[in-house]
Structure 1
């Protein structure tokens, strides 16, 4: 497998972070998933259950190893640092500042592993005025423009049917991690962290981004067409 021997520590939960780690695992990476004690990842009980466990969990968590670790405790933090010291990639999707509060932020972890590639997925990125807000795919898909496009022009925006905002961010995170792994090996420099925002990942795949120039946007209809942009505050 192309990623055989690559060690990944996954700190995320639910979709964006774990999906990225799952993609790496499918190509041979050794993924160690860190879960909180007692209940574990909420995805274990998400949607359709089979024998008490989510079918989604079975699909997303295959090829991974899993341990429980209290990241809020000093002992748990020390264990995690020792695991990161031997890792190539760390993936997390907490709200920005959470890991720093536990002494496990980028600067803390790169101190124990200078060549580390750290993927950080959040709603609005690690910096900026919205960084402290919780991020959800539904909001990211709206802010990125995706929910304006599908559906019907005379109705409210519709969901695509899957959590595409999360999975798009996961894909960008995986690309960033692989590039960051190549970077120190190519020129001997330190590792890097990859800052992935859900809404930016959605916006990046929108095919026409010329609103500022043309005043037009893609709009739902029988086919993708350009329409004049609605007034600020107007409905669809």
Structure 2
């Protein structure tokens, strides 16, 4: 799609956002982030109508474009995580590139970045400088270890943050090595927290505050905060929580079990009523009143867990998946199938609820199935309008429609490697 068609496309998209009445239709976000963390926050905001200008260095495409490329041209991670964004290339080391960023800051509500602390300052965009340009600007920062503290200058990645947070240690089976998650978990959790921080800051302004805000989020703290109960338990007892595989430190029974036909189910029946129904179903109703099983605090002991895993595992292992699910549903036992990606796509509930939507791509002319935003607002819903687009696809729209540059000026910028 040529530049003029892309400009027309983006104009049409802004009209669509306004007509749909999306909640953030009047918010403009500058996404200076790279890979996942800060960009994911921008993605969340974009789903609800924010105009997100995704800036990439002219010579260095965002690394996420190269993750698991399909057929040498389709970029799944980019297509999903850069949806609803206007991709713009900009050389921030060039004076004209810096001028353009200043103009965008002046016209924007939010700036997001996940550079190493101090990097943006060295480019001439310290917090005081940004405040001079736009006193109401909300500045959201994600870094490996936060903007303060002895580790703040260290480079940080999600894998390191997951390890530091305690997640990797606990995410393993007993006696097995610590296990990394299969997705950029720390980045995404940090991104969600940053999006929440931005919304709080914007709400504060709506309440009458005329000041901007600076949000400081590390990669490790959001995940660590989710382990607050485990940390307090350790602080009170001195007992270091250990890996438990598919079980949980604080509830039982909770585990994954294999069915007769080689499928897997996930069971969580620690609440008293589901536990008692499960025991009746598997033919061990006597355990409901036996010491060691009468309540959750008794059931989480090692010996009790072993008995429960055995009797439940034997019952499930003697039956095919469909029978297990049918019998458990009839008995009111909380259990569900363990899905792979193909099985998710075929599930009738997922299909009827619209958890996946086919999104047209103006660049390639095809459609891509994308998971919808899980945040469902009745009156002002989210909307995935288009997937991630090619580098620089938004250059002409941003420069001409938003900043007022003419075609000759843009041609000169290209010749001088500004864009």
- TM-score normalised to structure 1 length: 0.91
Number of aligned positions between the proteins: 227
2:239 equivalent to 1:212: no
Provide runs of 4+ in structure 1 moved above 6 Å.
none
Task: Tell me how far apart the structure 1 counterparts of residues 126 and 74 of structure 2 sit (CA, whole Å).
Answer: 31
Contact map agreement 1:149 1:224 (CA 8 A) in 2: no
Task: Tell me how far apart the structure 1 counterparts of residues 159 and 59 of structure 2 sit (CA, whole Å).
Answer: 29
Number of the residue aligned with 2:25: 4
3-state SS, counterpart of residue 30 of structure 2: strand
Question: Offset at 1:217?
Answer: 3.1
- TM-score normalised to structure 2 length: 0.52
Task: Tell me how far apart the structure 1 counterparts of residues 238 and 208 of structure 2 sit (CA, whole Å).
Answer: 44
Number of the residue aligned with 1:179: 200
Structure 1: gaps of 5 or more residues: 227-236
2:123 equivalent to 1:102: yes
Question: Offset at 1:28?
Answer: 0.8
RMSD: 1.6
Distance 1:75 1:2, change over 3 A: same
Contact map agreement 1:208 1:218 (CA 8 A) in 2: yes
Residue in structure 2 matching 1:16, options 15, 37, 40: 37
The structure carrying a bigger helix percent of its residues is: 2
Name which one, 1 or 2, has greater alpha-carbon Rg.
Answer: 2
Number of the residue aligned with 1:71: 92
Number of the residue aligned with 1:194: 215
Number of the residue aligned with 1:140: 161
Number of the residue aligned with 1:38: 59
3-state SS, counterpart of residue 93 of structure 2: coil
Task: Tell me how far apart the structure 2 counterparts of residues 163 and 152 of structure 1 sit (CA, whole Å).
Answer: 20
2:153 equivalent to 1:129: no
Question: Offset at 1:159?
Answer: 1.4
Question: Offset at 1:183?
Answer: 1.3
- For residues 135-163 of structure 1, give each alpha carbon's deviation from its aligned partner in whole angstroms, at most 9, with x where no partner exists: 11111011111112122110110012111
Contact map agreement 1:149 1:219 (CA 8 A) in 2: yes
Task: Tell me how far apart the structure 2 counterparts of residues 128 and 43 of structure 1 sit (CA, whole Å).
Answer: 29
Question: Offset at 1:218?
Answer: 2.6
Question: Offset at 1:77?
Answer: 1.2
2:249 equivalent to 1:225: yes
Structure 2: gaps of 5 or more residues: 1-21, 251-419
Distance 1:50 1:24, change over 3 A: farther
Task: Tell me how far apart the structure 2 counterparts of residues 172 and 7 of structure 1 sit (CA, whole Å).
Answer: 19
Distance 1:14 1:50, change over 3 A: farther
Question: Offset at 1:73?
Answer: 1.9
> 202-211 or 111-120: which moved more?
202-211
